A and B are shown apart, each in its own frame.
Chain A
Amino acid sequence: MLEVKDLEVRYGRLTALRGVDLSIREGEIACIVGPNGAGKSTTLLAISSVLAPTAGSITFDGTPIHGTRPEDVARMGISQVPEGRHIFTSLSVEENLQVGTATRSDKAEMKRDYDRVIETFPILGERRKQSAGKLSGGEQQMLAIGRALMTNPRFMTIDEPSLGLAPKIVDRVYEVLIDLREKRGLTLLIVEQSSERALKAADSLYVLRNGAIQLAGKAADLQDGKEVHKAYFGFSEDHEGEVMI
């Protein structure tokens, strides 16, 4: 569904991504893990056309989307829950969800999607008239996901859904994400710093470090963790032990 080939992104003279390849199939949950500064968020922002790649290509259902505008990408059915959530704090909860329908005119389905979001996250219904800035971190995460869903996406990217949230709320968020794939066939690309939870939820896993994919594979094949550890840190656990001694 989404093919990223040889993606390169530079911030001035700094190269953030050097030849990233991703191949995400329809209906799967893909996960990118990697340490801080590996280029995870940059990859997602490039997919959303917020950042323009200096080389490489991104195609969605065979259509190239690199070099377009963020609003074009949104219109094609790609939605993003960005790092830091980026809730509109001066808008009410309901208005935040409404902004998600910017590209749509199918009134009946919009209502259906709104009801679904409220059903998934009842707290958003209770607080729909409240200013979104007054929500807790977990509620804001739910709102960000709900808002992304209101665009009626076929493909959704989520940047660090567990960041700054209590474990219980993280569980709930992942429950919802897995449910979205099961019930609506939504394709998901999740970025996480830690690989544990991601490995449990994901069908395929990419380890990103220093702006390049170090390891890519089916999550089922990587459950052992050693390989992932090596790709993530750049050295194996045994090696680390030696250094420690």
Chain B
Amino acid sequence: MAFALQVLMNALSLGSLYALAALGIGLLFGVLKLINFAHGDFITVGAYALIVPSAATQATLMIGDFHPLILIPCIVVVVVILALIAEFLVFRPLRNASPATLMIGSFALGFVIQNILIMIYGGRPKAVGIWSDLSLGVELMPGVEVPKLQLIIIGVTLVLMVVLVLFLTRTKYGIHMRAAAEDFRMARMLGIEANRVIMLAVAISGMLAAAVSMLFVVQTGILDFRMGVSLMLFAFIATVIGGMGSLVGAVVGGFAVGAVSILLQTFLPSEMRVFRDVFVFAIVIFILLVRPQGLVMSRASRERV
């Protein structure tokens, strides 16, 4: 029982990170039909923004030294600005290009960001201890101890998801965004400003990336210029198996990928654990063979004719 609960918490907290990253990708895909492979690098930049820009092997905290109430908005602002710059310099000029071109553009952008990070910070991973007391355990019930951070990750994810849902269903701009995601041309014909909706989606996607940056770096304590890449890969897989274009699907997919990873991590024989991702991807292939449209069918594809 205690063991099962521990595994569950591990799965939920990893799934939360994937779900948050997948939401950021899914949101942009909805409005722009862009699979933003630079999303992972946005996450990386958010983490690197914590330290003083220098190539020194020893990281010195900069924003990371601030009070959390200042630190968090700072990181959010950094990532959102980066995302908006990407929109202006890369995505907007490619607005009328094919989705494949956009996707390749985002790949290129990702490499540019990674190389800029190497230029400024150097290529070697750096340890960064921020809020390390969060990794201390909390006793959920007698015999079950989980790191405080796991609870925070799950809590933050829940709160962000609720806020996002409220934004999308209760506010004027949220409703515009959903309309634009379903039928961009029609939305424009009704007077919705294309650029405004896209910028808003880009900004929200950036905020979600910043949240992942914080949670992820506190958990791992390591900065690496490729740290966002594998997260992005898993989040992308989450959006695909969840059903491209469905935000619910992105969340479901995120938690599914997280759960599968943790279960394999826990139950695979130790000598096979290094191949965990092979099994994860095999399961993904299987899901796509059985349900090519994803676990959650997006509403648009259920449309009544």
Contact = CB atoms under 8 A, between A and B. Distances in A.
A48 B191 CA distance: 11
B190 A50 contact: no
B303 A147 contact: no
Given A50-B185, A70-B185, A98-B172, A89 B300 contact: yes
A71 B191 contact: yes
A187 interface: no
A99 B304 contact: no
B304 A89 contact: yes
B190 A151 contact: yes
Interface of B: 172, 175-176, 178-179, 182-183, 185-194, 298-300, 302-304
Contact of A71 (B182, B183, B188, B299): B188
Given A69-B194, A98-B172, A88 B303 contact: no
Name the residue among B172, B186, B192 with the largest chain A CB count within 10 angstroms.
Answer: B186
Nearest to A75: B191
Nearest to B194: A71
Given A86-B183, A88-B182, A95-B175, A133 B192 contact: no
Interface string A81-94: 01000101111000
Contacts of B183: 86, 88
Given A71-B194, A91-B175, A86 B300 contact: no
Contacts of B189: 48, 50, 70-71, 73-74, 79-80, 82
25 contacts: A50-B188, A70-B189, A71-B192, A71-B193, A74-B189, A79-B190, A80-B189, A82-B189, A88-B178, A88-B179, A88-B187, A89-B299, A89-B303, A90-B178, A90-B299, A95-B178, A98-B175, A99-B179, A100-B190, A102-B190, A103-B190, A103-B191, A133-B303, A148-B190, A151-B191
A54 B178 CA distance: 32
Contact of A147 (B175, B182, B185, B190): B190
A10 B202 CA distance: 33
A134 interface: yes
Contact of A102 (B185, B192, B300, B304): B192
Contacts of A210: none
A90 B188 CA distance: 17
Contacts of A86: 183, 185-186
A88 B190 CA distance: 12
A69 to B, nearest CB: 7
Interface in A46-82: 48, 50, 69-71, 73-75, 79-80, 82
A51 to B, nearest CB: 10
Given A89-B300, A151-B190, 19 more contacts: A69-B194, A71-B194, A74-B189, A82-B186, A86-B185, A86-B186, A88-B178, A88-B182, A89-B302, A91-B178, A96-B179, A98-B175, A99-B175, A99-B176, A102-B176, A103-B190, A103-B191, A131-B299, A133-B302
A120 to B, nearest CB: 18
A120 B303 CA distance: 25
Contacts of A90: 178, 182, 298-300
Nearest to A140: B304
A179 B76 CA distance: 53
A239 B185 CA distance: 43
Given A89-B299, A89-B300, A133-B299, A69 B175 contact: no
Contact of B186 (A75, A88, A135): A88
Given A88-B183, A91-B179, A98-B172, A74 B190 contact: yes
Given A86-B183, A88-B178, A91-B178, A99 B299 contact: no
Nearest to A48: B189
| 9 cross-chain pairs, A with B, having the tightest CB-CB distances, nearest first | A74-B191, A103-B191, A90-B299, A70-B188, A86-B186, A102-B191, A99-B179, A102-B192, A89-B303
